[in-house]
Amino acid sequence: MERDPVVRGTGRLPLVGLLLTLAVLALFLSSLSNGFVNYDDDTYVTGNLHLRQGLGLGGIGWAFGSSMASNWHPLTWLSHMLDYQVFGLRAWGHHLGNVLLHTLNAVLLFLLCRRLTGAAWKSLVVALFFGLHPLHVQSVAWVSERKDVLSACFFLLSLLAYARHAQETSRRSGRLSLYYGGALLLFALGLMAKPMLVTLPFVLLLLDYWPLGRWQSGQIRKLLFEKLPFALVSVASCVVTFFVQRAGGGMADLRQFSVAGRVENALVSYLRYLGKTFWPADLAVLYPFVPRWPLWMVLGSGLFVVAVSAAALALRRQRPYLLVGWLWFVGMLVPVIGLVHVGQQSMADRYMYLPLVGLLLVIVWGLVDLAGESRQRLRVLSVATVVAAIACLDITGREIGYWRDSESLFRRDIEVTGGTATAHYKLGLALNDRGQLDEAYQSFHKSLELSPGDFPALLALGVVCNRRGEADEAMRWLEVALKQNPGSADGHYQLGVALDRQGQLDEAIDQYGQALRSDPTLVDAHLGAGAALGQKGRFDEAIRQFQAALAIDPENAGAHYNSGLAHTGAGQWEAARASFEKALALAPGNADAHNNLGLVLLRTGQRAEAINEFREALRLRPDHNRARSNLAATQQAEGPSPAGVQ
């Protein structure tokens, strides 16, 4: 065990540990004012109907059987499911889970380093910068990255259990302890949150070298054998991940990125990650892949990695933390460094969540060693630590703000990277959601310029044109999109919308049908088909479509409302009333639903209740002419002349 040269006593350590917790918690609690973003949050939470099953047998079965988002991480799904069950779609609750896990991880890292080294204050500084570093904003402020903070929690718990096992083993003649089984179980759970943890057996061997000091003569084979169960679990996770990502399209085509290009990117990325660690400026959600880096940069990066590795190896006896920390950083990044390319990014801040620990060990232990016993140097080091922590607070706080919403996030991304096709596309989606249709159209056009023939951008242009009422142009974009992807349910649905608006109801119904053949769970296609069938007077068929939509999404207010219209058309007054009342329970501000409920009540002889509904419709929307006409007619003694459904 080491003795801290910075502070001789540890009596104030619990108080400082509490301050660490409060500092990390207070910094990241600002993310609770952020919303969801349209980058994966729709897949993981806002558009994921499976979460609504809750933590029953059905939900748990789906979580363990799902390869959604090109990943098998059932514990991550269960975590999101729990959040949805408690908070619904209130974004602050989902952010709170990430913040609490990150704060817990900072505390666990402190406890781990202290247990392993006995150096309480150095451990505290490592944990402090782990908790405050701007590189961790992406993992914490992004709801979809729950898998990062959740898997890291299991990772650190596994290392803590392993440290106890190693200490028990040294005292009990090498026998395996319960802590060994606990470490293995926690590792398996961590992999079920995110498979990036596959390098944990390697990290265990590093810790055996330093600070546990288990690499004794004749013990290496025993240590390797001890890691065999961990290695087998890692291999199983790698196999599952490979097949799931390949099946889900998450793994980039190896022909798209050459082997040489991937190796070059890996070497340069190591230096870029180091740069972001020491100078965390211009952080972005998506760093574009560079097919060919300048030769001098590739060679320089390769030489740097080799030189640092050689120096750490040469100093392994005097400064073992250099080798362990450096190899921790290099080794933990291997699964995501891009040799097997996943996605379009060249690197990602979130990949540094755990690898950063290795660099922090090198930095903190190295600086304290350089300071030695000199009080003046220690004072300078203490001041530098405070200044660096304040800088982290400032930068991290600003970076959290960029995750406020999708528009803010991708405007910042375009500013930093110059703009990728994905960034312009996501910005377009955000603008479209805000109703800024002209700007959205321009963003989608820019995305298409950067990635010609890109299906999502073509589809999005069709969507915007539909919303602008430009059915002819929408059809042109959608027909091109469907040539790229003939089986797209969304493409057929949007084409159905364009045809519907042109009055071509039969053709629209056909397109809605094609959409549902591709994806029977597409609620909007059921709603579109039901509305078109209703316009043609085919009310029974329309009702079946709305019932199908409600079987998928029982809380869909629009489906209940449209079902009420279809029941009204069929003269099924009680069913219509029930549908409108359910729609209003879910969306009380729907003036049309109040008006139509009033008509239904009038048909069933409930005149006073009908008048109240017409008045409520007018209160919500004073310009609702049909409700005004219905109210006036109903108040006449001889009875109403209803203006009809809306």
Q: Are 427 and 408 in contact (CB under 8 A)?
A: no
Q: What is the dihedral of CA 252, 253, 256, 257, to 10 degrees?
A: 60
Nearest CA to 403 out of 602, 136, 593, 193 is that of: 136
CA distances from 152 to 98, 238, 552 (A): 11, 18, 34
Residues 93 and 75: their CA atoms lie apart, in Å, by 18
Take residue 475 and report the two structure tokens written for it.
């059809």
pLDDT at 359: 98
The Cβ of residue 612 has, within 10 Å, a number of other Cβ atoms equal to 16
Residues 301 and 295: their CA atoms lie apart, in Å, by 10
DSSP 572-584: -HHHHHHHHHHHH
Nearest CA to 293 out of 316, 324, 270 is that of: 270
Instruction: Indicate the residue type of 15.
Output: L
pTM for this structure?
0.89
Any idea which of 14-23, 167-176, 211-220, 316-325 has the lowest mean pLDDT? 167-176
CA distances from 361 to 210, 333, 365 (A): 11, 16, 6
Looking at residue 288, what DSSP letter applies? E
Q: Are 101 and 83 in contact (CB under 8 A)?
A: no
pLDDT over 60 (residue 98): yes
pLDDT at 168: 84
Residue 573's pLDDT band (cuts 50, 70, 90): very high
pLDDT at 286: 92
Residue in this structure with the two tokens 């001890």, named with its chain if needed: 226
For 347, residues 6+ apart whose C-beta sits below 8 A from its C-beta are 269, 272, 273, 287, 338
Which residues partner with 347 through β-bridges?
287
Q: What is the 3-state secondary structure (H, E, C) of 312-372?
A: HHHCCCCCHHHHHHHHHHHHHHHHHCCCCCECCEEECHHHHCCHHHHHHHHHHHHHHHHHC
- Percentage, residues of the chain above pLDDT 90: 83
The full set of domains in the chain, from first to last, is 13-404 (no CATH), 557-646 (1.25.40.10)
Q: Are 365 and 325 in contact (CB under 8 A)?
A: yes
Instruction: Indicate the residue type of 517.
Output: R
Residues 270 and 301: their CA atoms lie apart, in Å, by 8
CA 576, 577, 578, 583 torsion-angle sign:
positive
pLDDT at 177: 79
Residue 6's pLDDT band (cuts 50, 70, 90): very low
pLDDT over 70 (residue 487): yes
Q: Are 598 and 614 in contact (CB under 8 A)?
A: yes
Residues 316 and 310: their CA atoms lie apart, in Å, by 10
Q: Are 423 and 417 in contact (CB under 8 A)?
A: yes
pLDDT at 8: 44
Residue in this structure with the two tokens 């993981």, named with its chain if needed: 44
User: pLDDT of 23-53, one tens digit each?
Assistant: 999 999 999 999 999 999 999 999 998 998 8
User: pLDDT of 182-220, one tens digit each?
Assistant: 999 999 999 999 999 999 999 999 999 999 999 987 788
pLDDT at 561: 97
